[in-house]
Amino acid sequence: MANRKTTTQSVGSLAARTLQSTTSSATAKTLAASALSQRSPSHQTGAKVEELASRVLDSSKYNAETKSLAGSVLSQSNKQR
């Protein structure tokens, strides 16, 4: 069953700022792109991005904004995986 959750406006804005930033990491930009693509309920997180988001949440290396993107992406993952 597909997940029908979508990215909130606040996370969407964070994701857009992250993608435009010259200082954001590649990891943050990957999560931001995934979050923005999930503004539509027909899209959900892929397995590779799920794994990346999980690693981000488990690490102390990433800032709160990157962890927020990771949490949003994981909340929209395929529940059967």
Q: Where are the domains of the chain?
A: 9-75
Burial (CB < 10 A; 0-12, 13-18, 19+), residue 71, is middle
- Residue-level pLDDT at 19: 97
Whether the per-residue pLDDT at 81 is higher than 70: the answer is no
- Amino acid, single-letter form, for residue 16: A
Give the mean model confidence (pLDDT) for residues 55-73: 96
- On whether the pTM is more than 0.95, the answer is no
pLDDT digits (tens, 9 = 90+) for 4-58: 678 888 999 999 999 999 999 999 999 999 998 888 777 778 889 999 999 999 9
Whether the per-residue pLDDT at 80 is higher than 80: the answer is no
CB 44 within 8 A of CB 2: yes
Euclidean distance between CA atoms 29 and 35, whole angstroms:
10
- Residue-level pLDDT at 79: 62
